[in-house]
């Protein structure tokens, strides 16, 4: 099976000069052209922010394009809702599988089917025929909550087939799967294409999967198609070069302020959490910025949450300045850890609270009389100090944070931790969703933390950003640290290759052989 067999024929679906501009002015897609031929597996790749999610949502009817047109089987269409796309024959399977855990496999497979009359015996027979056709075995009456993640992914594919989908969009389908479960998904996708009934758009950060599975690959960068090639003619280097482009790196950080003689502030040993983090060990010295490079669902954010005590299942040892840290966020804060989460609106801020209350929250004990009653004038003084130092643009400290721009809201998250007893900063995508000016200010703030002798662990989807700010970079793939590089001795190309699994290297240094204390 290959696109060569049907490449000359009419595409199943085609995008012509599709552009998407969001109400805030963000241009997510710029004149995208895409042709997906019947009975093929078409890969879609690109770095975070390249426009993949927007393209998927437009094809699935969850978003309308600002301009351009969509052709389905040669006819121009306009899908205003996901139901419109499903009726036409498009099914989207997202990374977070949209199944109802309290319902059985049978009931989930029948979700969305029109008609009130259902006969369990007839539908069970229909499902058994489908399972026999794809060569998969599962109990249709078992609750979805009792299934593994891999089994749920298979149920989502079966659900699409039950609805008669001709185009199945798979968004990061194997991000949470074990290798054996991945092979099941691959086998089913190939088989359905061979049968000539189903076409797939396969979106993945795992480049080795894309090269192994697909017929053609489209590469997005900055909202534009920069390459489309037959996979058989594509090398790893060509794919990475297309994804990364020729952007120049910003100025790089120098060595840690204290060098190799600086004290170790953060020690992580044998950190583990089921299906998230796998035996992670590393150290960070005073004045050092260590980057965690990994793609979506690589485990990079989960490592930060496990260090901070926000993952109740995590096990392993975390020390700050030589002292073990209790496994709870309260214990982490008291030990000198600060977490700036990726989702600032849900995890980093209380949106309807004013600026001053958000800034005071982590350090109320030091702003209170006898550690009990917060003093308003102290809280105001700290908020004003932070607004001046970070150039937070707002009429007053009483402004609710949900009325701030993305950059100013992110600065408030940083301000929460700036004046407390923080020794180690854990920063998860601190510049996501902010404009260029705010990004530059935040990156300079991170450098400032290091100059002041703090230890920083930085997660960023933009590897160029890590190279510009960090001294040392740990590459995360499937919950493990698979490589370590000095920022001055690596490149964006190499980091993409390591993070995507195209090259493997075990962690070489930075770990401290500590014993797990619980």
Which has the higher per-residue pLDDT, 512 or 119? 119
pLDDT reported for residue 507: 43
pLDDT in tens, 66-86: 999 999 999 999 999 999 999
Asked if 309 and 444 sit in the same domain, the reply is yes
Residue 399 has pLDDT above 70, yes or no: yes
Return phi, psi of residue 13, to 5°. Answer: -140, 145
pLDDT reported for residue 57: 93
Lowest mean pLDDT among 17-26, 98-107, 202-211, 246-255: 246-255
Residue 370: domain span = 350-420
Residue 429 has pLDDT above 50, yes or no: yes
Residue 43 lies in a domain: yes
Cβ(106)–Cβ(123) below 8 Å: yes
pLDDT in tens, 130-184: 888 877 888 889 998 888 777 888 888 888 888 888 999 998 887 666 677 788 8
Average pLDDT on 52-79 reads 94
Average pLDDT on 339-350 reads 71
Residue 291 lies in a domain: yes
pLDDT in tens, 210-224: 999 999 999 998 899
The H or E element spanning position 302 is helix 300-308
pLDDT in tens, 127-144: 888 888 877 888 889 998
Query: Pairing between strand 167-171 and 199-203?
Result: parallel
CATH number at residue 24: 3.40.50.300
User: Residue 463 to residues 176, 198, 374, 375, 467: CA-CA distances in angstroms?
Assistant: 22, 36, 42, 43, 6
Average pLDDT on 349-357 reads 79
Lowest mean pLDDT among 149-153, 346-350, 481-485, 496-500: 346-350
Residue 396 lies in a domain: yes
- Most confident range, picked from 89-93, 112-116, 193-197, 356-360: 89-93
The alpha carbons of the chain give a radius of gyration, in whole angstroms, of 25
Which among 304, 250, 263 has a CA at the least distance from the CA of 457? Answer: 304
- Give the span between the Cα atoms of 263 and 286, in whole angstroms: 6
User: Residue 109 to residues 15, 102, 140, 201: CA-CA distances in angstroms?
Assistant: 30, 13, 9, 21
Asked if 362 and 489 sit in the same domain, the reply is no
Residue 208 lies in a domain: yes
Asked if 289 and 304 sit in the same domain, the reply is yes
Helical pair 236-244 and 492-499, crossing angle rounded to 10 deg:
120
Return phi, psi of residue 216, to 5°. Answer: -135, 160
- Give the span between the Cα atoms of 418 and 338, in whole angstroms: 9
Asked if 398 and 271 sit in the same domain, the reply is no
Torsion angle, alpha carbons of 232, 235, 240, 242, to 10: -70
Average pLDDT on 406-430 reads 82
Strand segments (E) across 398-501:
424-428, 455-459, 472-477, 480-486
Query: For 344, how many CA atoms within 13 A lie in the half-sphere containing its CB?
Result: 25
Query: Residue length, the chain?
Result: 518
Strand partners, 337: 424
Asked if 147 and 210 sit in the same domain, the reply is yes
Residue 147 lies in a domain: yes
Residue 116 has pLDDT above 80, yes or no: no
Interacting residues of 28 by C-beta distance below 8 A, sequence separation 6+: 20, 21, 22, 51, 54, 223
Burial class (CB in 10 A: 0-12, 13-18, 19+), 374: middle
pLDDT reported for residue 37: 95
The H or E element spanning position 67 is strand 67-72
Asked if 88 and 188 sit in the same domain, the reply is yes
Strand segments (E) across 286-414:
289-293, 315-320, 323-324, 337-340, 368-369, 373-374
Asked if 269 and 131 sit in the same domain, the reply is no
Which of 191, 211, 244 terminates a domain? The answer is 244
Average pLDDT on 36-46 reads 94
- Give the span between the Cα atoms of 194 and 217, in whole angstroms: 18
pLDDT reported for residue 434: 63
Average pLDDT on 445-450 reads 89
Asked if 414 and 426 sit in the same domain, the reply is no
How high does pLDDT run on average in the chain? 83
- Give the span between the Cα atoms of 268 and 327, in whole angstroms: 12
- Give the span between the Cα atoms of 390 and 416, in whole angstroms: 12
Strand segments (E) across 307-418:
315-320, 323-324, 337-340, 368-369, 373-374
Residue 343 lies in a domain: no
pLDDT reported for residue 347: 63
pLDDT in tens, 463-485: 888 999 999 999 999 899 999 99
Residue 309 has pLDDT above 70, yes or no: yes
- Give the span between the Cα atoms of 388 and 378, in whole angstroms: 15
Q: Per-residue confidence at 102, pLDDT binned at 50, 70, 90?
A: confident
- Give the span between the Cα atoms of 125 and 425, in whole angstroms: 56
Which of 362, 393, 420 terminates a domain? The answer is 420
Strand segments (E) across 144-243:
167-171, 199-203, 216-221, 224-230
User: Per the structure, how many domains does the chain have?
Assistant: 3
- Give the span between the Cα atoms of 386 and 159, in whole angstroms: 52
pLDDT reported for residue 389: 75
Asked if 359 and 332 sit in the same domain, the reply is no
Q: Per-residue confidence at 249, pLDDT binned at 50, 70, 90?
A: very low
Residue 342 lies in a domain: no
- Give the span between the Cα atoms of 226 and 423, in whole angstroms: 43
Query: DSSP characters for 365-386?
Result: GGGEETTTEE-HHHHHHHHHHH
pLDDT reported for residue 482: 94
Residue 344 lies in a domain: no
Is pTM beyond 0.85? Reply is no
Asked if 138 and 276 sit in the same domain, the reply is no
Which among 366, 358, 427, 406 has a CA at the least distance from the CA of 386? Answer: 358
Task: State how far Cα 434 lies from the chain centre.
Answer: 17
Which among 18, 166, 36, 170 has a CA at the least distance from the CA of 90? Answer: 166
Asked if 259 and 332 sit in the same domain, the reply is yes
Residue 509 has pLDDT above 60, yes or no: no
Which of 364, 390, 420 terminates a domain? The answer is 420
Asked if 127 and 226 sit in the same domain, the reply is yes
SS3 of the chain: helix, strand, coil, percent, to 5: 35, 25, 40
């Amino acid at each position: 099976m290959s696109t060569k067999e049907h490449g000359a024929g009419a595409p199943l679906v085609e995008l012509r000069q599709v552009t998407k501009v969001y109400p805030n002015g963000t241009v997510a897609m710029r004149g995208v052209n895409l042709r997906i031929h019947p009975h093929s597996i078409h890969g879609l790749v690109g770095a975070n922010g390249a426009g993949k999610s927007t393209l998927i949502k437009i094809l699935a009817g969850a978003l309308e394009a600002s301009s351009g047109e969509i052709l389905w089987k040669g006819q121009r269409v306009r899908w205003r809702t996901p139901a419109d796309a499903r009726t036409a024959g498009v099914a989207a399977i997202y990374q977070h599988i949209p199944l109802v855990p309290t319902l059985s496999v049978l009931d989930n497979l029948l979700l969305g089917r029109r008609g009130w009359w259902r006969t369990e015996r007839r539908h069970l027979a229909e499902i058994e025929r489908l399972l026999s056709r794809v060569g998969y075995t599962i109990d249709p009456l078992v609750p979805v909550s009792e299934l593994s993640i891999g089994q749920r992914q298979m149920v989502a594919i079966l659900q699409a087939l039950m609805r008669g989908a001709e185009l199945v969009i798979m968004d990061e389908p194997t991000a949470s799967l074990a290798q054996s479960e991945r092979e099941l998904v691959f086998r089913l996708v190939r088989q359905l294409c061979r049968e000539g009934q189903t076409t797939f758009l396969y979106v993945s950060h795992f480049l080795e999967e894309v090269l192994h599975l697909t017929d053609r690959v489209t590469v997005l960068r900055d909202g534009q198609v920069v390459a489309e090639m037959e996979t058989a003619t594509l090398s790893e280097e060509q794919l990475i070069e297309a994804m990364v482009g020729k952007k120049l790196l910003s100025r790089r950080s120098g060595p840690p302020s204290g060098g190799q003689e600086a004290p170790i502030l953060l020690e992580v040993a044998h950190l583990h959490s089921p299906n998230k983090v796998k035996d992670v060990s590393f150290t960070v010295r005073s004045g050092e910025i260590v980057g965690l490079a990994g793609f979506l669902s690589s485990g990079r954010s989960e490592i930060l949450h496990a260090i901070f005590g926000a993952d109740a299942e995590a096990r392993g040892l975390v020390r700050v300045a030589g002292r073990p840290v209790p496994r709870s966020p309260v214990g982490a804060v008291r030990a000198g850890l600060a977490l700036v989460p990726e989702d600032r609106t849900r995890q980093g801020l209380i949106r309807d609270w004013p600026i001053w209350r958000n800034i005071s929250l982590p350090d109320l004990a030091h702003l209170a009389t006898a550690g009990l009653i917060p003093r308003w004038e102290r809280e105001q003084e700290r908020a004003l100090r932070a607004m001046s130092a970070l150039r937070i643009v707002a009429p007053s400290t009483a402004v609710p944070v949900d009325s701030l721009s993305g950059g100013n809201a992110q600065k408030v998250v940083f301000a929460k931790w700036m004046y407390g007893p923080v020794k180690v900063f854990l920063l998860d995508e601190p510049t996501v969703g902010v404009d260029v000016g705010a990004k530059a200010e935040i990156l300079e703030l991170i450098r400032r933390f290091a100059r002041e002798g703090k230890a920083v662990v930085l997660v960023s989807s933009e590897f160029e950003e890590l190279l510009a700010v960090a001294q040392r970079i740990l590459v995360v793939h499937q919950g493990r640290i698979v490589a370590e590089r000095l920022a001055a001795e690596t490149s964006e190309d190499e980091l993409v290759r390591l993070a995507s699994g195209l090259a493997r290297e075990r962690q070489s240094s930075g770990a401290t052989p500590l014993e797990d204390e619980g």
